[in-house]
């Protein structure tokens, strides 16, 4: 249940007054730090709070944004594309759980999984692991149970088929592959759940930095496969997390 629904139920149950609820909704939607405008109402609008994109930001800027979030009751914060040297500096200010493979840092405690089922993150090869870990950590940050199936690409299809139970029981699958990107089509032909394909920039010259995998995934003959941008593990993790938390709307 998102924050607006909780607030409305509190009004309905007499736990808070209409005026207090109105004041809560009327509070400023963002905080201007000069170098960043921190979105304080994103969780109200989208169900999940703003995430800090670490690439291109100084550690001091990230600390300032995180302080604004914490001050406004966002106790768990995800920082993506976070270089290790920045994480070391930020870790002196906050209790930071740094995931080196994902280049992601989490301030605060990851919530207990409360999704409809599990999300499976599968990769074609070990070289796809950084993108896969970004997707997996993002999905876990959003309160999802994640199963990792790494290095199960089509060059050795038996490796994937040995994990059919996980494939068949997933609520959402994120299929991550470079080279020719065939993994998404294979999984899409096996699974009865949504499949989110992530092309990676892994491959030799004719892969064109992931464009070959991207085009293969876009042209997949398997129904139920959608595609995000090259190396966009974060985007795939967010979409999978939202699908896994879908509520029936009256």
pLDDT tens digits, 83-96? 999 999 999 999 89
> Tell me: domain 118-243, CATH 1.10.3720.10, correct?
no
CA 76, CA 56: separation in Å to the nearest integer? Answer: 22
pLDDT bracket for residue 27 (50, 70, 90): low
pLDDT bracket for residue 46 (50, 70, 90): low
pLDDT bracket for residue 15 (50, 70, 90): confident
Highest-scoring range by mean pLDDT, 27-31, 38-42, 77-81, 112-116: 77-81
| Whole-number pLDDT of residue 13 | 86
Please compute the mean of the pLDDT values over residues 152-159 and round it to a whole number: 90
Greater model confidence, 81 or 48:
81
| Whole-number pLDDT of residue 33 | 79
Question: Residue 174: beta bridge partners?
Answer: 121, 196
| Whole-number pLDDT of residue 4 | 66
CA 35, CA 65: separation in Å to the nearest integer? Answer: 9
Greater model confidence, 152 or 15:
152
Domain with CATH 3.40.50.1970 in the chain: 118-243
CA 217, CA 240: separation in Å to the nearest integer? Answer: 17
pLDDT tens digits, 193-242? 999 999 999 999 999 999 999 999 999 999 889 999 999 999 999 999 99
Nearest Cα residue to 242 out of 102, 148, 153, 141: 141
């Amino acid at each position: 249940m998102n924050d607006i629904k909780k607030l409305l139920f509190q009004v309905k149950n007499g736990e808070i007054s209409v005026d207090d609820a109105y004041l809560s909704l009327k509070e400023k939607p963002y905080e201007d730090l000069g170098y960043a405008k921190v979105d304080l109402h994103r969780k109200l609008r989208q169900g999940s709070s703003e995430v800090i994109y670490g690439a291109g930001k100084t550690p001091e800027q990230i600390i300032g944004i995180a302080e604004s979030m914490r001050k406004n009751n966002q106790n768990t914060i995800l920082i993506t594309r976070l270089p290790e040297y920045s994480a070391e500096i930020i870790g002196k200010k906050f209790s930071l759980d740094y995931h080196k493979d994902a280049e992601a840092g989490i301030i605060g405690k990851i919530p207990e999984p409360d999704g409809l089922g599990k999300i499976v993150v599968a990769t074609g090869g070990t070289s796809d692991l950084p993108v896969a870990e970004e997707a997996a950590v993002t999905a876990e940050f959003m309160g999802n149970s994640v199963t990792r199936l790494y290095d199960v690409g089509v060059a050795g299809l038996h490796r994937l088929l040995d994990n059919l139970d996980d494939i068949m029981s997933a609520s959402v699958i994120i299929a991550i592959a470079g080279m020719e990107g065939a993994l998404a089509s294979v999984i899409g032909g096996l699974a009865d759940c949504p499949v989110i394909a992530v092309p990676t920039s892994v491959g030799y010259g004719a892969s064109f930095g992931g464009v070959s995998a991207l085009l293969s995934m876009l042209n997949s003959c398997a129904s139920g496969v959608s595609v995000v941008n090259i190396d966009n593990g974060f985007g795939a993790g967010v979409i999978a997390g939202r699908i896994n938390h879908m509520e029936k709307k009256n």
